[in-house]
Structure 1
Amino acid sequence: MSEMKIALMNEFSQAGKNPVILEQLNSVASEQGHHVFNVGMDGDNDHRLTYIHLGIMAGLLLNAKAVDFVISGCGTGQGALISLNAHPGVVCGYCIDPSDAYLFAQINNGNALALPFAKGFGWGAELNCRYIFEKAFSGERGQGYPPERKESQVQNAGILDQVKSAMCKDYLEGLKALDQELVKTAVSGERFQACFFEHSQNTALTEYVRGVLDA
C-alpha cells in the first residue's frame, strides 16, 4: 500500500485513552511508511470535542484530501460511526476486532473506522488496537472477500457511493447550514488546523474554515 496520511481523533469521553491508541497507531504506521496526525483530544484537559465534532472534522479532512483515512471512536463507537457517515465523502466502518478491519478494507474499501474505546476496552486492548491497525493499513485494499466475490463487492461499493452523493446536498452548502459555532469548535484545535491547512487540496473548503475561525 502506498504512503497514507491517517488522522486519529478522540472525543471527550475517551480522551484519556488517546496516548495508548496513538502509540499503537504510530507504531504500525511507522512500520508501513504512513504518517499519523493526532487531530482530536489528546487528554482530558484538551479542548472538548464530542462525536458530533468528530464527524465535522473527518468530513473536512477527507473531502479536502488533507488525509486519506480517519481513525475515530467513542465509548461504544456507534456515535462516531453515525456522525462520520452523516457527511458526504466519508465511508466509515465499525470495527471491534482485526477481522472487521480486514474485511472492511477488502469488501467496503472505505476511508474511516469507528472503534469502541470504552466498551470491551480491557486487558490487552492496546494489542487489539495494534492488530486492527495492522489489518486496516497493510496490503492492497478492495480485493474482495472471498476473492471470487470481488467484482460484485466493488460494484456495490461504487453504487453505494453514488447513492450517498445523490442523497446529500452540496458539501460546502451543508457545512454552512450547520450551527457555525459547532463547526468552529470542531476546527478550533491547533493540531487539526496544522494538518488541515498544510495538506488541504480544496481551496473553497480551506477558505471556508478560515472564515469560520475568523468570525
Structure 2
Amino acid sequence: MKIALLNEFSQASKNNLIFKTLKNTVEPLGHKVFNDGMNNPLINKDVSEAYSDDNPRLTYLHIGIEAALLLNSQAVDFVITGCGTGQGALMSLNSYPGVVCGYCLEPTDAYLYLQINNGNALSIPFAKGFGWGAEINLKNIFIVAFSNPQGLGYPKENRKSQNENAMKLFEIKSNLCYPLLEALSNLDSKLLQTAIIAPNFKKCFLEGCKDQKILDYVNQFYH
C-alpha cells in the first residue's frame, strides 16, 4: 500500500516526528510512505519570509484538494492527515468524491473505522491532546491501521452488511458530488494552484498518478 502524509502549516513543526513514526512503523509491514506534508515551520520569521511559491502556506483546505487528487488518481492508496484538532482536515477531505475520511484519536478508532467503514483516509489531531507520549499513540494507531486487512467487519458476523454500506457510501458521494475535475474547476483558482504546485505534493503525484485525465489536468499548473 502507498500511504501519503498530509499536514497543514500549523503542524509543520511536528511533521518530522509524525513522518518518522509512520515510516518506521509501516514500512517494515511492506507499505511505502510519502511525506507530502508541510515541514518548514514558521520559527522567528515574518510570514512573507517563511512562505513562497516554492514553499506555499497550506491549510486544511489545500490538503483536501491534494488528498482528492492523490486518491482519485491512485497515486496513493491511503492518506494520513490532520490539523490542530483534526476536524478541519476531516471536513475538507470528505468534501470530495472518492474520499472517505475517518476521525482518529486512538488505536480503537483506527481499527473500527477501517474494519466497519473501510475508507481511505484518517484525520488525526496533531495539536489537541498531542502531549507527552504522543508518538507512542501514533505508533499504535499506525500498527492497528496498517497491519490488518481492511473491511473484515466488527463484529465479524456483520461483515457483509458493513462492506455493502461502505461501498454504497462511495457511490452516494459520487452521485451527490460533481465529478472531481469539474468540482476542482469550480474552486477558487488561487486555492487550487497553491495546493497543486506544492513541491511535496507534486513529486508524489507525478510519481504515482495512474489516471491520464487527472494527470493532464494537473500538468496545466506546471507549465
Sort the TM-score into its range (normalised by shorter chain).
over 0.9
Q: Which residue matches 1:57?
A: 66
Q: Which residue matches 2:86?
A: 77
How many residues are matched?
211
Q: Is the 8 A contact 2:197 2:221 kept in 1?
A: no
Q: Which residue matches 1:158?
A: 167
TM-score (normalised: structure 1):
0.95
Secondary structure of 2:97's aligned partner: coil
Tell me whether 203-212 or 110-119 shows the greater mean CA deviation: 203-212
Structure 1: 5+ residue runs without aligned partners? none
Q: Which residue matches 2:202?
A: 193
Write the deviation string for residues 101-127 of structure 1: whole angstroms up to 9, x where unpaired. Answer: 111110011000000000000110000
For 1:166, give the aligned amino acid: N
Between the aligned partners of 2:168 and 2:210, the Cα distance in structure 1 is 25
TM-score (normalised: structure 2):
0.92
Identity %: 55
Between the aligned partners of 2:98 and 2:87, the Cα distance in structure 1 is 19
Secondary structure of 2:56's aligned partner: coil
Between the aligned partners of 2:161 and 2:60, the Cα distance in structure 1 is 33
CA RMSD of aligned residues (A): 1.0
Between the aligned partners of 1:43 and 1:114, the Cα distance in structure 2 is 21
Write the deviation string for residues 165-208 of structure 1: whole angstroms up to 9, x where unpaired. Answer: 11011111111111121111101222211110111001111111
Between the aligned partners of 1:62 and 1:126, the Cα distance in structure 2 is 26
Q: Which residue matches 2:6?
A: 9
Q: Does 1:39 align with 2:36?
A: yes
Moved over 4 A (4+): none
Secondary structure of 2:7's aligned partner: coil
Secondary structure of 1:187's aligned partner: helix
Between the aligned partners of 2:56 and 2:183, the Cα distance in structure 1 is 24
Tell me whether 38-47 or 151-160 shows the greater mean CA deviation: 38-47
Tell me whether 113-122 or 40-49 shows the greater mean CA deviation: 40-49
